[in-house]
Amino acid sequence: MALDDRHSRSADTVRRRPQPPTAGAVLEKVSRLTGDELLTCGRPLRHAWEQARDAWPLADPHTARCPYCRDAAAGLSALDEATRALRAQEPPHAQTLIDRVMDIVRAEVRLGRLLPLDDPVRDLFIAETAAAKVLRRAADMVTGARAASCRLTPADADTGVHVAMTLAANLGRPLTETADRVRSQVRKAAAQSLGLTVTAIDLEVIDVLDPAFESSGTTDAERDRQEGTP
Same domain, 82 and 123: no
Same domain, 123 and 79: no
pLDDT in tens, 41-67: 777 777 777 766 665 555 677 777 787
Q: What is the DSSP letter of 38?
A: B
pLDDT in tens, 72-100: 777 777 777 777 777 777 666 766 766 67
**182 Cβ partners below 8 Å, 6+ apart?**
139, 142, 145, 147, 165, 167, 201, 203
What are the residues facing 114 on neighbouring strands?
127
Question: Which pLDDT score is estimated for 216?
Answer: 46
CA distances from 15 to 3, 19, 21, 25, 159 (A): 19, 11, 16, 19, 59
Percent of the chain residues past pLDDT 70, beyond the cut:
58
pLDDT in tens, 142-186: 999 999 999 998 886 666 889 999 999 998 889 999 999 999 999
Which among 4, 19, 164, 144 has a CA at the least distance from the CA of 81? 4
Domain membership flag for residue 14: no
Domain boundary (33, 68, 88) is at 88
Same domain, 145 and 198: yes
In total, how many domains does the chain have? Answer: 2
What is the rounded CA–CA span in Å between residue 99 and residue 80? 32
Question: What angle separates helix 128-140 from helix 94-111, to the nearest 10 degrees?
Answer: 30
Same domain, 62 and 133: no
Name the band, by pLDDT with cuts 50, 70 and 90, for residue 226: very low
Task: Please give the distance of CA 56 from its chain centroid, rounded to a whole number.
Answer: 45
What is the rounded CA–CA span in Å between residue 91 and residue 173? 66
Q: In which domain, by residue range, is 69 found?
A: 23-88
Domain membership flag for residue 7: no
Domain membership flag for residue 159: yes
Same domain, 70 and 153: no
Same domain, 133 and 182: yes
Same domain, 81 and 134: no
Domain boundary (88, 111, 128) is at 88
Domain membership flag for residue 12: no
Residue type, 6: R
pTM assigned to the model: 0.48
In the sheet that holds 160-169, the strands lie side by side as 145-154, 160-169, 197-208
Residue 154 sits in a domain whose CATH number is: 3.30.70.1350
Same domain, 123 and 222: yes
